[in-house]
Amino acid sequence: MTSHPYAFLALFLGVALAFPLAMLAVAQLWVRFFQRAKPGPLKNATYECGLAPTGDSWIQFKAHYYLYAIFFLIFDVEVLFLLPFAVAFTALPTGALVAMLAFILLLAEGLVWAWHRGYLEWQ
């Protein structure tokens, strides 16, 4: 009986699933038998240093965070493409060089646009 070469992975997967599930199950059993949850309106009230909470607890999300994340993503992916280009730079034909230059120019134009529009300033 030859065992399948990936059999240990199945075992690994099984243990990886069973272990946290078992811990969660033990925690749930503990709650059910020993320590019932005691929620209440005062207990679940929003924390405001001991004062009665006033105002909305949902604050407005700053759109600037989203912009920064998007710009980071774009330029990070660009770097990812530039890395093999830099490694194989000396062995590339001219056509590839021109194509990569077009790629870099497109993204540089995006950077200039963002800079000019002031999206790189933090408010």
81's CB contacts (< 8 A; 6+ apart) are: 103
Give how far the C-alpha of residue 81 lies from the chain's centroid of Cα atoms, to the nearest Å. 20
Burial 92-108 (b: 16+ CB within 10 A, else e): eeeeeeeebeeeeeebe
Q: Which is nearer to other proteins, 23 or 45 (CB)?
A: 45
Q: Which CB sits closer to other proteins, 14 or 53?
A: 53
Nearest distance in Å: CB 59, other proteins: 17
The minimum distance between CB 28 and other proteins, in angstroms, equals: 16
Closest CB to other proteins among residues 45, 98: 45
Q: Which residues bind other proteins (CB under 8 A)?
A: 34-36, 38, 40-43, 45, 47, 49-52
Residue 35 CB, shortest distance to other proteins, in Å, is 5
Nearest-approach distance from CB 46 to other proteins, in angstroms: 9
**Measured between alpha carbons, how far is 86 from 97 in angstroms, rounded to an integer?**
11
Beta-strand (E) ranges in 26-83?
Answer: none
**DSSP label at residue 88:** T
1 vs 37, which CB is nearer to other proteins? 37
